[in-house]
């Protein structure tokens, strides 16, 4: 189901012809559809549903620096690994709550070490403990690869009429519900708006429940991108 089909559903639901000058405009409708599209992706990622092809990014560590920027369009972390010295094996980094990492008072009681590191995500950054004590950009073997992230990336917004949502196909139609509800609210038809808001909520719930129990034993596919510093974001070849 492409964006044109979704807009046709919205038009039928509202009972009006959409245009750039209609009271509910095509511009508003496309914006509303993409709001729910991003929400749907976030809900799938939050439920740890292995629906999306993953991304990989590698980057450097810096001496005394525990804060690093998340990749552009980051949606959810799948796995993180780190190495603190050149030409050694990476170890898996354990996720932790940001408060547990920032509020430690006695270093002797810290649960983390270079052999057992932790990370926490806060806003657009992630924090690592134990704190690196070298600049991996100076390494001779593994420069640029001290940290390795596997993550879910937010998909591009739908724009062209032939764009197809990157969602389970059986649930493409739910993207029409939220925009229909917002359209009815703009038309001051609040009873109808509430009906479609309920349909959207149920659609999200069903999408998650019906995909949570699919086979998770298959390996995820990843495309590789590489960054050279902690502020690099994703650099595509």
DSSP designation for 109 = G
Sites in the chain below the pLDDT cut of 70? 103-109, 213-237
User: Minimal CA–CA distance to 197: which of 212, 181, 219?
Assistant: 181
> How far, in Å, CA of 183 to CA of 195, rounded?
12
Instruction: Dig out the tokens for 86 from the structure.
Output: 């050149």
pLDDT for 14: 97
Instruction: Dig out the tokens for 146 from the structure.
Output: 């001290």
Which residues are paired to 120 by β-bridges? 127
> How far, in Å, CA of 50 to CA of 89, rounded?
26
pLDDT for 233: 40
pLDDT for 104: 58
Instruction: Dig out the tokens for 98 from the structure.
Output: 């940001």
pLDDT for 49: 73
> How far, in Å, CA of 224 to CA of 209, rounded?
30
Cα distances (Å, whole numbers) of residue 129 to 9, 65, 186, 190: 50, 10, 49, 51
First to last CA, the chain: 31
* Cβ-based neighbour number of residue 34 at 10 Å: 19
pLDDT for 97: 86
pLDDT for 213: 64
pLDDT for 102: 72
> How far, in Å, CA of 137 to CA of 220, rounded?
29
> How far, in Å, CA of 58 to CA of 233, rounded?
10
pLDDT for 154: 93
């Amino acid at each position: 189901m492409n964006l044109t089909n979704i807009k046709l559903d919205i038009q039928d639901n509202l009972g009006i012809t959409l245009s750039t000058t209609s009271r509910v405009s095509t511009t508003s409708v496309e914006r509303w559809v993409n709001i729910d599209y991003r929400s749907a992706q976030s809900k799938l990622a939050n439920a740890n549903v292995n629906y999306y092809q993953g991304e990989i990014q590698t980057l450097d560590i810096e001496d005394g620096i525990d804060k690093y920027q998340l990749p552009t369009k980051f949606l959810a972390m799948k796995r993180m690994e780190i190495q603190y010295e050149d030409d050694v094996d990476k170890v898996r980094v354990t996720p932790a709550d940001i408060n547990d990492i920032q509020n430690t008072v006695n270093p002797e009681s810290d649960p983390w070490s270079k052999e057992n590191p932790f990370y926490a995500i806060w806003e657009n950054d992630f924090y690592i403990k134990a704190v690196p004590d070298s600049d991996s950009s100076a390494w001779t073997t593994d420069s640029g690869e001290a940290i390795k992230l596997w993550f879910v990336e937010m998909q591009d917004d739908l724009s062209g009429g032939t764009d197809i949502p990157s969602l389970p196909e059986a649930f493409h139609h739910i993207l029409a519900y939220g925009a229909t509800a917002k359209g009815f609210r703009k038309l001051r038809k609040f009873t109808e708006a509430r009906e479609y808001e309920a349909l959207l909520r149920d659609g999200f719930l069903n999408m998650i429940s019906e995909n949570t129990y699919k086979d998770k034993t298959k390996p995820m596919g990843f495309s590789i991108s590489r960054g050279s510093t902690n502020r690099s974001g994703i650099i595509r070849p």
